[in-house]
């Protein structure tokens, strides 16, 4: 990669960002595609978010990835939000289209592409999503129409009920919200952890106890006690690495108009995780 006066810049904004695997993944793809683009990460404290977005305009960046804690807060500073990002209530990708900054969210589609790649089919399955935050909103947008049925559980029940009501409004699908996890867990064919439980393996309890025969998904992209327990029971298990990869593939396609080489991006992701 040679940086020149013509190199186009895409940036990640978050706080912190030093740990991010995205620069490696995206730069590897740009290089393989022979595109004069580079991807950098900027640590933006919340108080400076508005200035950072103004900087995107002033410096004519091609676009952004947006991560914690700015995914929701960035929305008022953009010109347009696509319908999926509006439903999710969070933006993870910004594209500069002419003078306008357009917000997208590629997490849900990325998740579905990752399932497709693994040959995991939600069709015909009773799916339970545990957690009703941003990640759950992104995947539920698709699962509620693709799966035989979807149920949502969150310790904060009103939050899960709000998501269910939004799914009914926007997708026209009725999504039950059990009062207790045990009401939906035993009958589910696929159970997905969309809570942060597992990020602190020594301290966190399991988000749920998987059952034999279930497909168990975890949106966390490193190995967790839940994934180990599900594997021990012989369950089919997937983690969030595929979602991370494919949300990036879709974001890259939005910035460049070209489908990036996902195998190259996966290799970069694996190297970053090592
Ligand atoms: P979030 O907004 O904090 O939402 C998590 C939700 O889970 C919250 O509503 C939380 O409730 C709830 N919760 C916590 N403990 C629970 C429990 N024991 N049972 C039921 N619900 C519980 O987080 P997020 O942004 O949606 O992210 C969720 C996970 O997905 C994180 O681990 C994140 O790393 C992962 N993720 C992965 C990708 C990827 O590309 N692989 C992308 C996005 C997110 P309270 O608010 O009451 O605590």
pLDDT at 1 over 80: no
The 8-class DSSP code of residue 119 comes to T
| Catalytic residue ranges | 71
| Cβ pair 259, 242 in contact under 8 A | no
Please give the structure tokens belonging to residue 49.
Answer: 């978010």
Cβ atoms within 10 Å of 212's Cβ, excluding its own? 8
> Strands of 63-66's sheet, edge to edge?
37-43, 8-14, 63-66, 93-97, 100-104, 80-81
Return the best residue to mutate from 67, 111, 133 for the ligand 1 pocket (most ligand atoms within 8 A of CB).
Answer: 133
3-state SS class at 213: coil
At 33 the pLDDT is 98
CA 112 to chain centre: 10
| Cβ pair 101, 83 in contact under 8 A | no
Please give the structure tokens belonging to residue 52.
Answer: 């950072």
Please give the structure tokens belonging to residue 138.
Answer: 């992104």
Q: Residue 36 C-alpha to ligand 1 middle, in angstroms?
A: 36
Looking at the CA of residue 221, tell me the nearest atom of ligand 1. 41
Pocket of ligand 1 contains residue 195 by CB under 6 Å: yes
Pocket of ligand 1 contains residue 130 by CB under 6 Å: yes
Distance CA 238, CA 260 (A): 23
Distance CA 21, CA 263 (A): 15
pLDDT at 207 over 80: yes
| Cβ pair 110, 249 in contact under 8 A | yes
Q: Structure pTM?
A: 0.96
Q: Residue 131 C-alpha to ligand 1 middle, in angstroms?
A: 6
Q: Whose CA is nearest to atom 3 of ligand 1?
A: 133
At 12 the pLDDT is 98
Pocket of ligand 1 contains residue 194 by CB under 6 Å: yes
21: confidence class by pLDDT, cuts 50, 70, 90 = very high
Q: In this predicted model, what pLDDT tens digit does every residue of 239-263 receive, in sequence order?
A: 999 999 999 999 999 999 999 999 9
Pocket of ligand 1 contains residue 13 by CB under 6 Å: no
Q: How confident is the model over 80-98, as a mean pLDDT?
A: 97
Q: What is the DSSP string of 35-101?
A: --EEEEEEE--GGGHHHHHHHHHHTT-SEEEE-TTSTTTTGGGSSEE-HHHHHHT--SEEEEETTEE
The sign of the torsion formed by the CA atoms of 183, 188, 193, 197 equals positive
Q: In this predicted model, what pLDDT tens digit does every residue of 39-64 receive, in sequence order?
A: 999 999 999 999 999 999 999 999 99
Q: Distance of CA 191 to CAs 156, 181, 201, 221, Å?
A: 18, 11, 19, 16
Pocket of ligand 1 contains residue 220 by CB under 6 Å: yes
């Amino acid at each position: 990669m040679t940086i020149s006066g013509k190199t186009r810049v895409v940036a990640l904004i978050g706080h912190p960002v030093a740990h991010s695997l995205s620069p490696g993944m995206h730069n590897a793809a740009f290089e393989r595609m022979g595109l004069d683009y580079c991807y950098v990460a900027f640590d933006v404290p919340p108080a400076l978010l508005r200035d950072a977005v103004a900087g995107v305009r002033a410096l004519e960046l091609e676009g952004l990835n947006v991560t914690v804690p700015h995914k929701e807060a960035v929305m008022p500073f953009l010109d347009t939000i696509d319908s999926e990002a509006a439903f999710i209530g969070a933006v993870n990708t910004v594209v500069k289209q002419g003078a306008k900054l357009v917000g997208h969210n590629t997490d849900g589609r990325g998740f579905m592409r990752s399932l497709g790649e693994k040959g995991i089919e939600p069709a015909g399955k009773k799916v339970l999503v545990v957690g009703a935050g941003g990640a759950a909103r992104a995947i539920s947008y698709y699962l509620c129409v693709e799966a035989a049925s979807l149920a949502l559980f969150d310790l904060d029940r009103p939050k899960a009920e709000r998501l269910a009501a939004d799914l009914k409004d926007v997708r026209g699908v009725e999504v039950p919200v059990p009062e207790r996890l045990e009401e939906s867990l035993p009958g589910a064919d696929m159970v997905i952890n969309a809570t942060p439980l597992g990020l602190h393996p020594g301290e966190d309890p399991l988000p749920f106890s998987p059952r034999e025969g279930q497909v168990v998904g975890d949106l966390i992209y490193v190995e967790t006690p839940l994934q180990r327990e599900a594997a021990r029971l012989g369950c089919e298990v997937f983690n969030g690495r595929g979602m991370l990869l494919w949300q990036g593939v879709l974001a890259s396609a939005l910035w460049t108009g070209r489908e990036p080489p996902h195998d190259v991006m996966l290799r970069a992701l694996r190297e970053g995780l090592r």
